[in-house]
Structure 1
């Protein structure tokens, strides 16, 4: 790691290439033809498409936002992806959509932060970039906390890190039975994000939250359901159809009733969530701004992280 730091970006690139070259190529080769066809089909049929990393469909009564990243692999989140999601949510907040349905194209929901994107910038100017990264996450997470209409998450596949931590900020979470959930923060030298230090103990108890946030235990969809991270687990073969049927039932409800009902359940915790988000992002600035934090991410990439 010291040699990498001394060599600057060339060192980072060599580590990243070494860590992800062979495995990365294999992952790309292993992407199923079905997922590629589905991704192409969704993009081709969406006439109003105007984003790079997400697909937005204005449906009858709701806005459907799907992760379909081109700037990163496995639907990971970098500032560009986060800004696109925020933009789509801002539009949905002001139009006649009654709710937002958040999903993903392909077999992966979201593999958390795009560490390849982050590490290249951290090694350029660690202190400045760590502040910028943490502020981007703070703004992104606040867009979920402050969204006044219901957010429904349809988790079609693996959800890791930030992709899993965001789920308690959604109002309903339906998961494919094949989905799994993990927040392996310690393995890449990161502290919790997306208010998970507050929401996880609240919904599943301190012992279970510690097991997820500190040891990175992987949860099956059924386990996530039993712990309160998921509202309901749905059968894989009919997952999309079941989600759409349930969303249509929700949008049949009066929009004022939906907003007021959410406000009654969420307003008491909104301030606490914003404060938790602030604390977590301050912690991220300290961790990412340290040489230990940068080295931990590099080591994680060098080990060849288990991707979805």
Structure 2
């Protein structure tokens, strides 16, 4: 790594912690290091008494372009999922889930659970296009502010994958089933204005005025922190356990999808096109 900048920049000042995705040359795509850094930073923020409010944003033109295709294709193995046994026949669906969960899916499930459990106000400042996980984390935060240059795309089916990040439940609930289906099934890209109209985004700012959110957020850090965090706990307590079940089911399906021929063919076609550039 040498002197390379971290993939996630984690700063705190006067109660405001800012987590900034920092792979601008890769459009802030998530790789293994980004997953680990983001999860560790969220856990740190949740436990830190000096952190009142946490904001997630991106460096450069993108908020996040989603997952690196190689993230789930690497041979590195993690600890087995607690929901399945290592002795299960790998030729069965349960066995495939067990094996694929060791290659990135467990890590993904843990990150989403950390977001579900996050005990303090969490705000997203979407500075540019959001794709895949860059979209599906947004319903898991409390407030979303977006640049008018932001767009929102969940190309799971196009990538031969399946919805993740609790999006199969949260997006229909927030946007309505029809609009959610256009995104989750038919890969429709929506604008920031559409995202606000559908309830995915709280407020849209002209890109050159996006900086106006920061003084407002800094002012909120002066609110009584215990009352603020207790209110967040009440709001999230009604859905926390249910969302974890949704997350587990989606990750089981994702593991099966990753073992399927459609996904492998899709990746090979992508890599072949990339090699010819």
Asked whether the two chains share a fold, i.e. TM above 0.5, the reply is yes
Q: Which runs of 4+ in 1 moved over 2 A?
A: 116-122, 126-132, 290-293, 296-304
- Whether 1:181 and 2:152 are equivalent positions in the alignment is yes
In the alignment, which of 20, 40, 45 is matched to residue 92 of structure 1? 45
Q: For the Cα contact (< 8 Å) 1:187–1:300, is it kept in 2?
A: no
C-alpha distance in 2 between matches for 1:276 and 1:181 = 22
Q: For the Cα contact (< 8 Å) 2:75–2:103, is it kept in 1?
A: no
Q: For the Cα contact (< 8 Å) 1:131–1:285, is it kept in 2?
A: no
C-alpha distance in 1 between matches for 2:155 and 2:132 = 6
Gaps of 5+ in 1: 1-43, 45-49
C-alpha distance in 2 between matches for 1:108 and 1:51 = 17
RMSD value over aligned CA atoms?
A: 2.3
CA gap of 1:294–1:90, structure 2 versus 1, over 3 A, is same
Q: For the Cα contact (< 8 Å) 1:189–1:297, is it kept in 2?
A: no
C-alpha distance in 1 between matches for 2:229 and 2:272 = 46
C-alpha distance in 2 between matches for 1:294 and 1:177 = 35
- Whether 1:138 and 2:128 are equivalent positions in the alignment is no
Specify the alignment match of 2:161 in structure 1.
190
Gaps of 5+ in 2: 77-94
C-alpha distance in 2 between matches for 1:173 and 1:301 = 34
Secondary structure (helix, strand or coil) at the match of 1:57 reads: strand
How many residue pairs get aligned? The number is 252
With normalisation by structure 1, the TM-score equals 0.77
- Deviation of 1:120 (Å): 4.8
- Whether 1:81 and 2:51 are equivalent positions in the alignment is no
C-alpha distance in 1 between matches for 2:155 and 2:262 = 17
- Whether 1:235 and 2:206 are equivalent positions in the alignment is yes
- Deviation of 1:116 (Å): 3.2
Specify the alignment match of 2:219 in structure 1.
249
Secondary structure (helix, strand or coil) at the match of 1:188 reads: coil
CA gap of 1:270–1:218, structure 2 versus 1, over 3 A, is same
- Whether 1:203 and 2:157 are equivalent positions in the alignment is no
- Deviation of 1:121 (Å): 3.9
